[in-house]
Structure formats: C-alpha cells, structure tokens
C-alpha cells in the first residue's frame, strides 16, 4: 500500500495544516469539521472491517458515505442541516486529497456527486423596536454588573457582531477619539470575524459613552468585557447574558415570549433595522462582515415579506370599509 493510499496522514494534514494554515477557517468551523470526521471515520472503519488507523482512501466509498448520512438521520435523529454539514466536511476532505494526489481525482469526483439535501430556510428571527428597547432597559444600571450588561447588549445591537466577535474585542481595537471630544462621530471598533478577517464598524455616541467607564485606565491588550471575576467574558457567557434578560423581559412582554432570543437574534435585528432605516444592502454586508452579498440578501427578502403583509392588511381594511 502506497503512502498516498493510507488515509490517516491525509486526515492529519487536513485538520492541522489545511483547515488552519491554508484555509484559515474560524475555530468553530475547524471544530465542526473535526467532529464530523470523529463520527464518520469510525463508521467507515466498521463498514470496511478495518481498524481506523488502517483505513485507506478508497475505503471511503460513495455507498458507505450515503449509508453514513442515512444513519445520521434515521438512527441518530439528526436534522437535514446537520446531515449537510457533515457532508460538507467529507467533500472538503475529498477535494483536499485530490488536490495533492491527482490519482484520487476520480474517487473525489464520485464523492462530490453526493448532493446536499434541500432544506426549507427558516424565517429570520429578529426583534421589533419595542422588544429591543425593552431588552436594553432590562439591566439594572445602578449596579456595576448591570452597567456592564447594558454595555454588552448595546454593543451587540450597535455592531451586529457575533457573540464570539464581541468576546474577542480588546481595548486596543476601540477607537473612541479619546483625545478629541469634538470628533466623537468617528468612533469605531475593529471586529475579527470568520477566518480572523478584520472589519471596522462605526460606534454610536450612546455606545461610546457606555464603553468609556469600562475601559478607563486599563491596558490596550485587555479584553473590553469582563465577568464578575475580572476574566474575559466568553461567548457562552454572552449567550447566557442575553437569554437571561430576554427571559426576564418576556414575563411582561408576551410577544417576546414567543421568540428564541440569542446574540444572533440581535445580529438579525441590527440588519433588519438598518435596512428599514434606508441603509443600502452593501453597507449592511460590510457592517455584518458577510463574505457573500447573497447572505445579506436574506434581510432584503424579510423586509419584502413584511411590506407584502402590511400591504395585504391595508387592502383587507379597505375592502372591509367598502363592504
């Protein structure tokens, strides 16, 4: 068996070199691909009656791959989105092997013929203005923790950042025009999105006013948002913070009780509100750090749906009045 036929060296290079150095994928994406292979490779080993370290590239056949995907859905109860994500990881591994081993081009091509399943795109969840305002008012700003929590919620809404991006922000990433009060409108923050790609996002004066006390007399290398123990707030902590206040507000605001509110919901809210206020779709794409405009176009479709519903209600009211 030639070295290029043994699977394990390819898997190692794929996970430790290709995804990290060449593709520069986000840590979460790297972990997702690793988890996919942790499920896939033992399944293939059982089907091929080999020990996992003895697997060769050709052991990953289209029929066994399809059986694995079916097992995900039938036995494990995974949804179509999870099934497609696992398949994407397998496709990526196959393309990588074929890139450096041309003799496996045909094998890779056969695996690429396994198509993703179409899944109905869920409606974008976002908050109406009164719901967002209620969420921002929830923290008790008379306490240090309440002021920190309010700053986190406002920062999420201002930037439309992902929870992981907010957790990574350091004081040096902020440009609050500390030395020029007259030029505060130029305040901004550098966020690092997927693939560690940086983007600059403007900060509202309201956000700047909340950030100043948090970073006062602290080093530029420190994280902006800290927990009660003085440690950097994690993305899990940010998720918990948002969910806690959403649950509190939902007791008094029935419409919010019907929604699942997370940092990503606030991200969708930012995009939807920007669109409603007349900001063009390309600016929103840059604001959110989307690579493809098609991703941002989802919000335009949501806005069209809202306008269509409003028009339908208006016509219904006119018909009722005529009747």
Q: Which of 95, 194, 235, 248 is catalytic?
A: 194
Selection from 273, 243, 270 nearest residue 256 by Cα: 243
Residue 228 designated active-site: no
Is residue 56 within 8 A of residue 7, CB to CB? The reply is yes
Whole-number Cα distances in Å, 115 to 38, 81, 157, 247: 21, 13, 37, 40
Mapped onto helix, strand or coil, the DSSP state of residue 232 is strand
Mapped onto helix, strand or coil, the DSSP state of residue 123 is coil
Q: Which of 83, 148, 223, 267 is catalytic?
A: 267
Residue 264 designated active-site: yes
> For residues 201 and 283, what is the distance between their CA atoms, to the nearest angstrom?
10
Q: Which of 83, 86, 148, 162 is catalytic?
A: 162
Whole-number Cα distances in Å, 24 to 10, 54, 262: 18, 29, 27
> For residues 115 and 104, what is the distance between their CA atoms, to the nearest angstrom?
19
Residue 194 designated active-site: yes
Find all residues with CB under 8 Å of 252, minimum gap 6, and list them.
134
Helix 281-288 with 293-322: angle, nearest 10 deg: 130
Q: Which of 170, 264, 268, 290 is catalytic?
A: 264
Catalytic residue positions, numbered: 162, 194, 264, 267
């Amino acid at each position: 068996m030639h070295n290029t036929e043994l699977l394990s060296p390819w898997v190692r290079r794929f996970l430790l070199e290709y995804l990290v150095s060449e593709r520069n994928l986000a840590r979460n994406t790297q972990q997702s691909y690793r988890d996919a292979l942790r499920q896939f490779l033992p399944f293939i080993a059982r089907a091929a009656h080999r020990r996992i370290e003895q697997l060769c590239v050709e052991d990953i056949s289209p029929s066994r791959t399809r059986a694995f995907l079916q097992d995900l859905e039938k036995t494990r109860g995974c949804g179509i989105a999870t099934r497609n994500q696992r398949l994407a990881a397998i496709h990526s591994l196959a393309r990588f092997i074929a890139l450096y081993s041309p003799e496996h081009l045909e094998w890779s091509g056969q695996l690429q013929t396994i198509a993703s399943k179409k899944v109905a795109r869920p409606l974008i969840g976002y908050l109406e203005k009164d719901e967002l305002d209620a969420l921002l008012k929830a923290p008790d700003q008379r306490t240090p923790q309440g002021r920190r929590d309010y700053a986190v919620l406002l920062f999420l809404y201002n930037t439309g950042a992902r929870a992981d991006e907010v957790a990574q922000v350091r004081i040096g990433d902020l440009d609050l025009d500390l030395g020029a009060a007259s030029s505060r409108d130029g305040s901004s923050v550098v966020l690092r999105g997927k693939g560690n790609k940086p983007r600059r996002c403007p900060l509202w004066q309201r956000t700047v006013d909340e950030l100043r006390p948090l970073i006062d007399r602290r080093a530029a290398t420190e994280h902006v948002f800290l927990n009660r123990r003085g440690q950097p707030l994690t993305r899990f902590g940010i998720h918990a913070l948002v969910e806690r206040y959403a649950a509190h507000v939902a007791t008094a605001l029935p419409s919010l009780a019907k929604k699942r509110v997370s940092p990503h919901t606030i991200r969708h809210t930012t995009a939807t509100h920007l669109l409603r206020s007349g900001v063009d779709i390309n600016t929103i794409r840059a604001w959110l750090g989307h690579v493809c405009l098609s991703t941002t176009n989802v919000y335009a479709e949501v806005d069209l749906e809202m306008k269509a519903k409003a028009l339908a209600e208006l016509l219904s009211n006119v018909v009722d009045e005529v009747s």
